[in-house]
């Protein structure tokens, strides 16, 4: 009788243990850092999460995730320095030898600067760019060139006041932030001086609006960008978003109007019709895991 019971238990274990393990996620070899974009912080106004449900989805899937937060409006280098400081704090806290970086928007640019020019390269396993303006933005060109020189500084000063006193930036620099994402600066200054580093896996995705921006505030800029640069997400063109191993375009389900710049990170408040941002990020993490990162 004991032998029969023992055999039954073994049989049950053979059925249910593999079944339960099929739901268990294998974490990436190295932790993941999420780096936010321009005009925002990781926690806007102290209550609005930039990544909305993404970091929770990654953690629930078994991945170790950290978030950095830099000035919403500042030069690329100033943001890179701030990111570097937080990066090494995270590295020490995690006990890991390297980190996987996932950046969105300007978060793809200041992290590249930190990797290539500020000493992070030996500690970075992979770099993932989402909607990054690697070739600059003609929308930024239009704004920077469209404001007469005498008014540029005063307008930037007003934005600096807004970001410092309302959004919590420390000594922001909106003027430099605008210049640093123009096409001339990115193509002629930043990219030549910020090469990819051997031994780091670089990959990228773009987003594209097909019919109309789910976030209506991006509708005017999307239309302008269509004329200036073609397919885009409302702020960054598909062509500009390509860097390293280009993995493709996220434009949502067939019935979706498309995926705009904010939808890519689960904004506006998780309302992203035809596109599941948390699932997309989990798929990125699983792919990194399968590549040994």
Segment 7-29 shows an average pLDDT of 47
| Kind plus residue range of the DSSP H or E element containing 249 | strand 245-250
Read off the pLDDT band of 1 (50, 70, 90). Answer: very low
Read off the pLDDT band of 11 (50, 70, 90). Answer: very low
Query: Is the Cα dihedral 254, 255, 261, 267 positive or negative?
Result: negative
Query: Is the Cα dihedral 169, 108, 101, 104 positive or negative?
Result: positive
Read off the pLDDT band of 46 (50, 70, 90). Answer: low
Q: Is the per-residue pLDDT at 205 higher than 70?
A: yes
Q: What are phi and psi of 139, to 5 degrees?
A: -70, -40
Strand order in the sheet with 124-130: 65-68, 32-35, 99-104, 124-130, 201-207, 245-250
Asked if residues 121 and 155 have their Cβ atoms less than 8 Å apart, the reply is: no
Span 215-242, pLDDT tens digits: 999 999 999 999 999 999 999 999 999 9
The model carries a pTM of 0.89
Please report the pLDDT score of residue 43 as a whole number.
Answer: 74
Strand 43-44 versus strand 201-207 pairing type: unpaired
For residue 180, give the nearest of 65, 278, 39, 18 by alpha carbon: 39
Which one has a higher pLDDT value, 247 or 159?
247
Please report the pLDDT score of residue 20 as a whole number.
Answer: 34
Q: Is the per-residue pLDDT at 18 higher than 70?
A: no
Segment 123-134 shows an average pLDDT of 98
Asked if residues 248 and 222 have their Cβ atoms less than 8 Å apart, the reply is: no
Please report the pLDDT score of residue 44 as a whole number.
Answer: 65
Please report the pLDDT score of residue 165 as a whole number.
Answer: 84
**All structural domains of the chain:** 26-290 (3.40.50.1820)
């Amino acid at each position: 009788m004991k032998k029969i019971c023992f055999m039954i238990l073994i049989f049950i274990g053979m059925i249910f243990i593999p079944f339960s393990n099929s739901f268990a996620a294998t974490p990436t070899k190295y932790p993941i850092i999420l780096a936010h974009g321009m005009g925002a912080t990781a926690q806007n106004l102290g209550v609005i999460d930039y990544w909305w449900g993404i970091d929770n989805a990654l953690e629930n899937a078994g991945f170790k995730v950290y978030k950095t937060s830099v000035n919403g409006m500042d030069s690329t280098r100033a943001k890179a320095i701030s990111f570097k400081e937080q990066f090494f704090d995270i590295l020490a806290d995690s006990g890991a030898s390297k980190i996987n970086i996932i950046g969105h928007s300007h978060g793809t640019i200041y992290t590249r600067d930190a990797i290539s020019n500020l000493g992070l390269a030996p500690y970075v396993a992979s770099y993932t760019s989402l909607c990054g303006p690697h070739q600059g933005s003609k929308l930024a060109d239009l704004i920077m060139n469209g404001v007469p020189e005498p008014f540029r500084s005063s307008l930037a000063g007003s934005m600096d006041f807004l970001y410092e006193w309302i959004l919590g930036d420390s000594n922001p620099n909106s003027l430099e932030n605008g210049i640093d994402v123009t096409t001339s600066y990115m193509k002629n200054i930043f990219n030549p001086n910020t090469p990819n580093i051997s031994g780091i896996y670089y990959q990228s995705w773009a987003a594209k609006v097909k019919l109309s921006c789910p976030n209506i505030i991006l509708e005017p800029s999307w239309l302008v960008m269509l004329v200036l640069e073609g397919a885009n997400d409302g702020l960054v063109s598909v062509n500009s978003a390509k860097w390293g191993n280009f993995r493709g375009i996220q434009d949502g389900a067939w019935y979706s109007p498309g995926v705009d710049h904010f939808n890519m990170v689960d904004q506006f408040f998780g309302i992203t019709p035809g596109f599941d941002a948390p699932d997309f990020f989990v798929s990125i993490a699983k792919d990194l895991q399968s590549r040994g990162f």
